Amino acid sequence: MNLPPFLLDHWLAAHEFATPPIRYNLAASTGPKWSVDELLALGGGRDIGGVKIGYAPPEGGKRVREALGGFLGVDPDWVVVTTGASEALLIVLCLVARPGANIVLPTPAFSPFAAMADAWGLGVNSYPLQREEGFRQSAEAILVATDDDTALVLVNTPHNPTGAVMPPGEIEALAQKLGERGVPLVVDEVYHPLYFGRQSPTAASVPNAIVMGDMSKALSLAGLRTGWLIIADPELRKRAIDARSYFTISSSPVLEELAAHALDNHEVLLDRLVAVASANRAALSAVMERVSDTVAWAEPEGGTVAFPWFKDGRDSRPFCQALAAAGVLVAPGDCFGSPEHFRVGFAAQAEGFGDALAIFERTLRG
């Protein structure tokens, strides 16, 4: 197995963990950070000193699965806890891998989707998201990309890196059509429930849909490395739990307890994220209007990232390098197979976002 270079992580690691670190991180796709003390103080406080440092059940402990069931409005028995959404992706690919099979993915997309599919010997059929259409995902366009060898279809909503949201009716129609062919639909919901304007329900209760999620994005707790799969089918869920047992055995019970406590107080986490993301998105929108002679964008409908592009088609990496040298980090579009684009995160920087945008505009005009 020869995995391709993970360009996005290479770019982030070179700047986020540098000494000194980047001044303004607009490449991050997460929300404002929480400390352990801040998290434990929520809801009147929580003491985790008595948690035993052993193994948790492979499907996740009862407390965190019940908290996730309440958060998503599903039976806790449907929940399989994973080590972030990364392990959730590995599990679903493992379950469908077979010789000659393919999976259907959006383009642009988070690069590990295709890389991990290839690692499992799966072909990739892509359905393009057209920026002129706001990167819209539709059931009709996705079904065109399927064939008799399709083993799984994945949609990501809110979408990384574009912020596009797939309408619930389109998800339901797609899941139904795929179900008639015995093909599961995986819905990557790591940014749920962060929406601007109309809210969208989770797809966790949609027949023939498997939902992936984690604590990293909408709940702003990337370091907990706690993700999940929601699988209603008991036989498929049993296979997923077996796969998890082989991959990582279990989560840390300490992290599960922190995750459960966070979920018990998810309104506070989400309120802070919504406040930061909404204010910064509005500020970014104003800048995008001022630089519209050079850069275009589709305003994100959900999530924490946007995917602007240079109207003249130039490679964005030199601009991203110049911007990083000025103290502001965004992610070059070649990390997503779209060199003329760049990804901007607008939720991690709770303070100084306006200063970062001023540097962005000066660098662009320079």
Taking only the tens place, the pLDDT of each residue in 233-258 is 999 999 999 999 999 999 999 999 99
The domains found in the chain, sorted by start residue, are: 7-36+267-365 (3.90.1150.10), 50-265 (3.40.640.10)
Q: In this predicted structure, what is the pLDDT of residue 278?
A: 98
- pLDDT level of residue 122 (50, 70, 90 thresholds): very high
The dihedral over CA atoms of 54, 60, 61, 67, expressed in degrees to the nearest 10, equals 140
Q: In this predicted structure, what is the pLDDT of residue 119?
A: 94
Strand order in the sheet with 331-332: 305-306, 342-345, 331-332
Query: What's the length of the chain?
Result: 366
Per DSSP, the three-state class of 306 is strand
CA 200 → CA 229, 292, 319, distances in Å?
19, 29, 35
- pLDDT level of residue 20 (50, 70, 90 thresholds): confident
Q: In this predicted structure, what is the pLDDT of residue 164?
A: 98
- pLDDT level of residue 53 (50, 70, 90 thresholds): very high
The radius of gyration computed from the CA coordinates of the chain, to the nearest angstrom, equals: 20
The answer to whether residue 2 scores a pLDDT higher than 90 is no
Give the predicted TM-score (pTM) of the model.
Answer: 0.95
The answer to whether residue 229 scores a pLDDT higher than 90 is yes
Phi, psi of 173, rounded to the nearest 5 degrees: -65, -40
pLDDT average, residue stretch 183-194? 98
pLDDT average, residue stretch 273-296? 98
- pLDDT level of residue 16 (50, 70, 90 thresholds): confident
Q: In this predicted structure, what is the pLDDT of residue 21?
A: 84
- Supply 69's token pair: 């069931």
